[in-house]
Amino acid sequence: MNKGELIDHARPYYDEYQLSRLEQAVDFSTLAHINQKRASGEPYITHPITVSDTLISWGMDIDSVIAGVLHDTVEDTNASLEQISEKFGPDVAQLVDGVTKVSQARSDMKDMQDYLPKTKDNLSKLLIAVGQDVRVIIIKLADRLHNLSTLQYLPIEKQIKNARESLEVFSPMADRLGMGHVRMQIEELAFSYLDPIEFNRLKILIKKRLGKSTRKLGKIRAEVDIALKEQKLNVEINGRVKSIYSLHKKLAKVNGNIDDIYDLMALRIVVETKEDCYRVLGILHSLYKPMISRIKDYIATPKPNGYQSLHTTVITPNEQIVEFQIRTKKMHEYGERGLAASFHYHEQKSSKNYTEKKNVSSLPDSMSWITQLQEVALKLKNEESITSDQFNIDIFKDRIFVHSPKGDIYDLPENALPLDFAYLVHSDIAKHAYSFKVNSRIHPFDKPLKNGDIIEIVTNKLSRPKYAWRQLVTTTHARNRLNSQLRQSNVVDLITGAANIIRRKKVKK
């Protein structure tokens, strides 16, 4: 890809002035990288141009696209941040600075012998960079995607390192930002380098399976389509095939038996409104027998990254097991593009809005961690200018980052307790918390969590919030939720108590 093609791709979305800035950035970057080559032998400039093109395809604002073109200049050439700030404005300079710092955080990690524990620290560093401006991570993801797709030119050890880091740091990051499509692209590419034999085996396996089931599935799809149209529902039905990497992960859970995987191919039904989603679910359940334990309402309870959809798995009269995913167009768009969707060029705002938190008002609740980190980062920045050597995890030593068993990341104050985590995940889950497992070991309610812990909440439907828990939460969020649950159960107790008294009186009569 060259400058002309990039500008052509950008033309429909940006105005003349924005395009001229972009052109200027390409010229600046071309000159800066003039004698550099990629491992593939191509001129280096092809890389930043591709990154920038990816950002255009994600619908990012012009400052991000320009920063994409410039993202390697400060780290790899003589260009300085001051120059960039002068030519392209302080907002672009700040984005480039952020991307450079994320790279520094990465090279710290590369020096470490012991890979995993450091990765978690690094993840926190990346999160802090997000705190400055979440667009930094989005640019970084576009950068990583291109590096992964040109990995074949690097020596094998580098391929493995890069692929592992992608799976351990960048795909969870994309997931955390709700960028489902990018996460999948990163995982497929990285996995194909990490374990090419398994990758190809699964690829062939999926192909074989699909050949068998596609025709049967086509029949069901037509049947469902007719039933929904009869109810005047305007729907679009598509097949979605499980990605190779997610199949690989799932197989590990079911001892490698592919027959235990019901969602190798799922039917995705996209509708207009949230109400339609539930109507479709009702109609499906009247047509086929649902597997009760596999009905999931991610609309009422979105996943922590904001993903929304209804999932159900049904058994057809021919004993075929089919998973359906039902969602609105908006949910679908968010599920694929995630946070990037909030920076769409259609709703362009000034960069100031992004860094001063105003932009995130439209983000789903699950993204509130971004707001929090941005606030902290902004506060630090205003107090004293943070130079690159102060950009250190130690500044944030009062925060810890913990993970759910699925790898979702939550941030908590230092010394937070398991119930704080549970209330952060969901108050309905916290309500039924029975015990906790941290890094697979039973963990008492009063023992503080540590950075990098993986926490599993063991629930029991009969378990209820207790007054004693008030000593076992430390965050305001958890305390508020707990108190309101205690009040609620108090009212319920009063009502059942009153009912019992009335009943007893009746019995006496």
Kindly list the catalytic residues: 75-76
If one asks whether residue 53 binds Mn ion (CB under 5 A), the answer comes out as: no
- Residues linked to residue 321 through DSSP beta bridges, in sequence order: 315
Out of 72, 91, 323, 411, point to the residue binding Mn ion (CB under 5 A). 72
**CA 314, 330, 335: angle at the middle one, nearest 5?**
65
- The total number of residues shown for the chain amounts to 509
Do 69 and 24 form a contact (C-beta atoms < 8 A)? no
CA distance 200 to 191: 10
Q: Measured from the CB atom, is 97 or 143 closer to Mn ion?
A: 143
Q: How far is the CB of 71 from Mn ion (least distance, A)?
A: 6
Do 68 and 139 form a contact (C-beta atoms < 8 A)? yes
- Residues linked to residue 348 through DSSP beta bridges, in sequence order: none
- Residues linked to residue 290 through DSSP beta bridges, in sequence order: 314
Strands 321-328 and 399-403: unpaired
Tokens 């918390």 sit on residue: 433
Q: Measured from the CB atom, is 166 or 313 closer to Mn ion?
A: 166
Q: Measured from the CB atom, is 143 or 276 closer to Mn ion?
A: 143
Q: How far is the CB of 99 from Mn ion (least distance, A)?
A: 8
- Residue range at the interface with Mn ion (CB under 5 A); choices 25-33, 71-79, 284-292, 428-436: 71-79
Residue 357 Rama label (left phi>0; alpha psi -120 to 50; beta):
left
Local structure of 147: helix, strand or coil: helix
Q: Which residue is nearest to Mn ion (CB)?
A: 143
Do 21 and 88 form a contact (C-beta atoms < 8 A)? yes
Q: How far is the CB of 143 from Mn ion (least distance, A)?
A: 4
- Residue range at the interface with Mn ion (CB under 5 A); choices 68-76, 88-96, 174-182, 377-385: 68-76
Q: How far is the CB of 75 from Mn ion (least distance, A)?
A: 8
Q: How far is the CB of 146 from Mn ion (least distance, A)?
A: 7
- Residue range at the interface with Mn ion (CB under 5 A); choices 64-72, 89-97, 321-329, 341-349: 64-72
Q: How far is the CB of 72 from Mn ion (least distance, A)?
A: 5
Q: Measured from the CB atom, is 33 or 125 closer to Mn ion?
A: 33
Q: Measured from the CB atom, is 39 or 502 closer to Mn ion?
A: 39
Backbone φ and ψ of 359, nearest 5°: -60, -30
Name the residue type at position 465.
Answer: P
- # of chain residues touching Mn ion (CB under 5 A): 2
Do 186 and 141 form a contact (C-beta atoms < 8 A)? yes
Q: How far is the CB of 170 from Mn ion (least distance, A)?
A: 13
x/- map, 93-132, Mn ion, by CB under 5 A: ----------------------------------------
Q: How far is the CB of 55 from Mn ion (least distance, A)?
A: 12
Name the residue type at position 245.
Answer: Y
Do 25 and 93 form a contact (C-beta atoms < 8 A)? no
Q: Measured from the CB atom, is 150 or 489 closer to Mn ion?
A: 150
CA distance 167 to 94: 27
Backbone φ and ψ of 410, nearest 5°: -125, 140
- Residue range at the interface with Mn ion (CB under 5 A); choices 65-73, 90-98, 275-283, 393-401: 65-73
Q: Measured from the CB atom, is 72 or 133 closer to Mn ion?
A: 72
Q: Measured from the CB atom, is 80 or 484 closer to Mn ion?
A: 80
Q: How far is the CB of 47 from Mn ion (least distance, A)?
A: 6
CA distance 174 to 171: 5
x/- map, 325-364, Mn ion, by CB under 5 A: ----------------------------------------
- Residue range at the interface with Mn ion (CB under 5 A); choices 31-39, 69-77, 270-278, 316-324: 69-77
Where do the DSSP E strands lie in 99-160?
none
Distinct helix (H) and strand (E) counts, the chain: 21, 11
Q: Measured from the CB atom, is 54 or 308 closer to Mn ion?
A: 54
Cα 21 off chain centre by: 31
Out of 53, 61, 97, 143, point to the residue binding Mn ion (CB under 5 A). 143
Do 378 and 355 form a contact (C-beta atoms < 8 A)? yes
Nearest partner of 352 among 34, 50, 17, 92, judged by Cα: 92
Residue 319 in tokens: 């004993």
- Residue range at the interface with Mn ion (CB under 5 A); choices 15-23, 137-145, 191-199, 268-276: 137-145
Give contact residues for Mn ion (rule: CB under 5 A). Answer: 72, 143
